[in-house]
A and B are shown apart, each in its own frame.
Chain A
C-alpha cells in the first residue's frame, strides 16, 4: 500500500482545527461566557432570552415595590397625623361637653376644632411626588375641597378607583386607597363628624351624638390604616422573595452561560499541546527526502 507522499495538507488541516479550538477556549476564558452566540449552545441561548426577561422584570418588581412603599409610608404617616388630630378633636369635644365652659370658651374650642378640620382636609390632600394619595385615580387635582353646600363643608372630588401594581409574576397588589373609603365613607364621614362636633360646640347641644359619631369615624379610620400596614408587610415579604428569585435567576444564568473555567483551561492546554506537536511534526517532515542523501 502506497502512502500519501504529501501529508502537508492533512497537517495544515489539523493545525487549523487545533488553532480554532485554542481560539474558542481563549474566547470563553477571556469573556467568561460559554455561550457567546446562539450556535455555542442553542438551547441555552433560547433559555437565556427568558432569563434576561425575568431578571429585568424582577428588578422592575423590586423598584415598583420600593415606589409603592414610598407612597404607603407617606400615606400611613398622613393617617397617623389624622389620628393624632382626631384624638385632639375628641378630647376637645369631651372638654366642651362637660358643661363648665363659658360661651366664649366654647367658641374658642369651636375655632380650634375648625383648625383641626382644616388640618384634616390638608392631610386628606397629602400628595406623593406631586400627586394626591387619596384621590382614587383622579390625581390631577386635590380631592378634598371646601364646599359650603356640602353638609360637612368638604366635598370629595376624587373617585373610588383603585390601581393595582404588579409586584411579581401574576401577583398584583392595590397601590392606593381612595379617599372615599377613608375620610368620607358613608356612615363614617370624618368631616361630617367634625362639623357635627363644631356645630354642637357652637349650639352647646347634641354633644353625645356628635362625640359618638366622631369616635366612630376615629375607630373606622384607625381600622382602615391597617390596610397600609398589611400591604407593607406583604411588600416586604415579596421584596425578600424577589431577592431569592434574583439569586436563582443569576445562578441559572451562570450555569447556562458562564465558562466552565477548568474545562476551558484544560481545553486550552490540550489544544496548545496539539498545536505544538503538529508544528513539530511539520518541521520534521519537511526535512526528509531521499534527495538529501544523493550525491
Chain B
C-alpha cells in the first residue's frame, strides 16, 4: 500500500479530515450563541499503519468522532440552582405584590384603625353631635372596607397564583413530553452507535427549563435517563413521559396530581414549588392573621359598644356585624352593623351628653385583643413579617443569581464556543488542507514523471 499511491491516499485522508474538522469549527461558530450548545471538537487519530518488510508506514489520519465538551456534574449543579432560582423568583414576585397592600402608613389597615380611634376621640369632646357621630360611623365603615379590600386582594392574588399553577403544570407536561421525544432520538442514534451529542445538548437545555419549573432528579441508566421529582414522582422514563394533572379541590384551588397521588405538598422547589408555597402557606397564613385581627377587633369593639347607651338612651347594640365563629373570613365579611348615627352608644349612663362609653371604646386601642397584642402592634407585626419576607426573598434571589452566573461561567468555560479558538482552528485546518493538497499535487507530478519514464 506504500508508494506514491499510498502517499496519495494518505494525503486524501488528510484532506477529508481537515474538511470535517473545518465543518466542526463552522458548526461551533454557527452555534456560538445557541443556549445550551456544547462546543464540539474533532477527535483525530492516526490511521492504522501498514507493515512493509522492516518498516511500518502510517496511513494518514482518521476522524474518529466529534466530541462534545460538557461537565455533567456542573450541569447537575446548574439544574439544582435553577430549581432554587425558579422557586425564589416566583415567591418574590408574589410577595412583592402582597407587600403593596401593607405599604404606606397613610393608607391601609393601620391607618384605618388609627383613624377609627381618632374619630372616637373627636366624638368624645361633643358626644351628642350628630355630624361627629356620622364621622365615627364613616371611619368604622372605612375600617371595614379596607379589611374587605385587603382580604379580597389577597384572595385575588391567590386565585392568580392558582391559575399560574395550572399553567405551570401545563408547561411541565410539554417539557417532559419533549424530553421523552428527545430521549427516543438519542436512543435511536445510540443503538446504531451514532453520535447523539446535538440531541444531548437539546435534552440538557430542556432539563434546565424543566428545572426552573419543578424539582428534577436525573437518574442515568444504561437505557437512557429517567427524571423524577425529589420525592420520587416519575416525570420521564426513557421514551415515556408521565404528565402531571391538576384537579380542582375545596376552596376553588387546584391540587397537583401524579396519576392518582396528590403531590401538591411534595414539591419543594422550582417555580411550581414557589407558587404553591405562596398560595398554600404564605397567603393563607396572612389571611388567617387578618381574619384574627378583624374578628378580635370587631368583637372587642362590639363588647365595648354594648356596655353603653345610644342617643335615645337605649342600650348599645353591636357596632360591627359579629364576625363569623372561628374568625375565618372575618376580614372579608367585616361590616358596620348600624347606619343611624343616633345609635352610636357613646353614653355610659343613657344621658345624651355622656361620653363615658366612648372612653370604653377607645380603651380597645390599648387592649391586648389579637394574640395578646394591641391591634396596631399586631398589625405592625404583620407589616414587619411581610416586609422581612420580601426583603429576605430579594436577598436570596440576588444570591442565587450570583451563584447561577458563576456556574454559567464555569459551564461556558468548559462548553462555550470561543470565536478566537475557532478562528485559530480554522487557520490550522486550512493550512493542513493546503499542505495535503500540495502533497497531492506533488504526488501527481511524481506519478506523471513515473508514467513518462523512459519516454523521450
Residues on A close to B: CB < 8 A?
1-6, 9-10, 13, 17, 36-43, 45-53, 56-57, 60-61, 63-64, 67-68, 129, 131, 135-140, 159, 161, 163-166, 172, 175, 289-291, 294
Partner of A290, one of B401, B409, B413, B423: B423
Which residues of B are found within 8 Å of A43, using beta-carbon distances? 384
Q: By the criterion CB–CB under 8 Å, are B125 and A64 in contact?
A: yes
Which residues of A are found within 8 Å of B377, using beta-carbon distances? 50
Q: Which of B113, B117, B356, B380 has the most CB of A within 10 A?
A: B380
The distance in angstroms between the C-alpha atoms of A50 and B126, with both chains bound, is: 26
Which residues of A are found within 8 Å of B379, using beta-carbon distances? 49
Which residues of A are found within 8 Å of B390, using beta-carbon distances? 37-39
Partner of B383, one of A10, A45, A131: A45
The distance in angstroms between the C-alpha atoms of A181 and B292, with both chains bound, is: 47
The 3 closest A-B pairs by CB, nearest first: A38-B387, A139-B353, A42-B387
Given A38-B390, A39-B394, A60-B118, A3-B105 contact (CB < 8 Å): no
Q: Which of A5, A38, A52 has the most CB of B within 10 A?
A: A38
Chain B min CB distance to A17 (Å): 8
Given A163-B124, A289-B420, A42-B388 contact (CB < 8 Å): yes
Interface residue? B280 (CB, 8 A): no
Given A6-B412, A38-B383, A60-B118, A48-B105 contact (CB < 8 Å): yes
Which residues of B are found within 8 Å of A294, using beta-carbon distances? 423, 426-427
Q: By the criterion CB–CB under 8 Å, are B126 and A39 in contact?
A: no
Given A50-B380, A60-B121, A163-B356, A4-B351 contact (CB < 8 Å): no
Partner of B351, one of A10, A138, A164, A291: A138
Which residues of B are found within 8 Å of A290, using beta-carbon distances? 419-420, 423-424
Q: By the criterion CB–CB under 8 Å, are A38 and B102 in contact?
A: yes
Interface residue? B237 (CB, 8 A): no
Interface residues of B in 239-285 (CB under 8 A from A): none
Chain B min CB distance to A278 (Å): 14
Q: List 26 A–B pairs whose Cβ atoms lie within 8 Å, in order of A's numbering.
A: A2-B418, A4-B412, A5-B418, A10-B405, A37-B99, A37-B100, A37-B103, A38-B99, A38-B388, A39-B95, A40-B391, A43-B384, A46-B381, A48-B105, A49-B105, A49-B110, A49-B376, A50-B377, A52-B110, A60-B122, A138-B353, A139-B351, A159-B349, A165-B124, A290-B424, A291-B419
Interface residue? B60 (CB, 8 A): no
Q: By the criterion CB–CB under 8 Å, are A140 and B352 in contact?
A: yes
Residues on B close to A: CB < 8 A?
32-33, 95-96, 99-100, 102-103, 105-106, 110-111, 113-115, 117-118, 121-122, 124-129, 347, 349, 351-356, 359, 362, 376-377, 379-381, 383-388, 390-391, 394, 398, 401, 405, 408-410, 412-414, 416-421, 423-424, 426-427
Closest Cβ neighbor of B353 among chain A residues = A139
Which residues of B are found within 8 Å of A137, using beta-carbon distances? 347, 349, 351-355
The distance in angstroms between the C-alpha atoms of A40 and B243, with both chains bound, is: 41
Given A2-B413, A3-B413, A49-B380, A67-B126 contact (CB < 8 Å): yes
Q: By the criterion CB–CB under 8 Å, are A57 and B118 in contact?
A: yes
The distance in angstroms between the C-alpha atoms of A137 and B377, with both chains bound, is: 34
The distance in angstroms between the C-alpha atoms of A258 and B189, with both chains bound, is: 66
Closest Cβ neighbor of B103 among chain A residues = A37
Which residues of A are found within 8 Å of B32, using beta-carbon distances? 6
The distance in angstroms between the C-alpha atoms of A138 and B351, with both chains bound, is: 5
Q: Which of A60, A136, A175 has the most CB of B within 10 A?
A: A60
The distance in angstroms between the C-alpha atoms of A291 and B386, with both chains bound, is: 53
Chain A min CB distance to B368 (Å): 15
Which residues of B are found within 8 Å of A53, using beta-carbon distances? 110, 113-114, 376
Closest Cβ neighbor of A13 among chain B residues = B405
| Total CB contacts across the A-B interface at under 8 A | 179
The distance in angstroms between the C-alpha atoms of A237 and B42, with both chains bound, is: 92
Q: By the criterion CB–CB under 8 Å, are B409 and A166 in contact?
A: no
Q: By the criterion CB–CB under 8 Å, are A289 and B423 in contact?
A: yes
The distance in angstroms between the C-alpha atoms of A50 and B388, with both chains bound, is: 18
Which residues of A are found within 8 Å of B394, using beta-carbon distances? 39
Closest Cβ neighbor of A140 among chain B residues = B352
Q: By the criterion CB–CB under 8 Å, are B353 and A13 in contact?
A: no
Partner of A2, one of B121, B352, B414: B414
The distance in angstroms between the C-alpha atoms of A139 and B394, with both chains bound, is: 59
Which residues of B are found within 8 Å of A49, using beta-carbon distances? 105, 110, 376, 379-380, 383
Q: By the criterion CB–CB under 8 Å, are A6 and B99 in contact?
A: no
The distance in angstroms between the C-alpha atoms of A53 and B359, with both chains bound, is: 17
Q: By the criterion CB–CB under 8 Å, are B353 and A39 in contact?
A: no
The distance in angstroms between the C-alpha atoms of A49 and B378, with both chains bound, is: 10
Partner of B105, one of A9, A52, A159, A166: A52
Given A4-B416, A64-B121, A136-B353, A38-B347 contact (CB < 8 Å): no
Which residues of A are found within 8 Å of B128, using beta-carbon distances? 131, 139-140
Closest Cβ neighbor of A5 among chain B residues = B418
Partner of B391, one of A9, A42, A47: A42
Partner of A63, one of B113, B122, B352: B122
Partner of A1, one of B114, B352, B412, B413: B413
Q: By the criterion CB–CB under 8 Å, are B387 and A39 in contact?
A: yes
Chain A min CB distance to B234 (Å): 33
Closest Cβ neighbor of B386 among chain A residues = A38
Q: By the criterion CB–CB under 8 Å, are A52 and B111 in contact?
A: yes
The distance in angstroms between the C-alpha atoms of A5 and B355, with both chains bound, is: 79
- Extra contacts, 13 of them, besides A46-B384, A137-B349, A291-B419 (Cβ < 8 A), are A5-B420, A38-B99, A41-B387, A45-B383, A45-B384, A45-B387, A46-B381, A60-B122, A135-B353, A138-B351, A163-B124, A290-B419, A290-B420
Q: By the criterion CB–CB under 8 Å, are A4 and B413 in contact?
A: yes
Which residues of B are found within 8 Å of A39, using beta-carbon distances? 95-96, 99, 386-388, 390-391, 394
Which residues of A are found within 8 Å of B412, using beta-carbon distances? 4-6
Q: By the criterion CB–CB under 8 Å, are A161 and B349 in contact?
A: yes
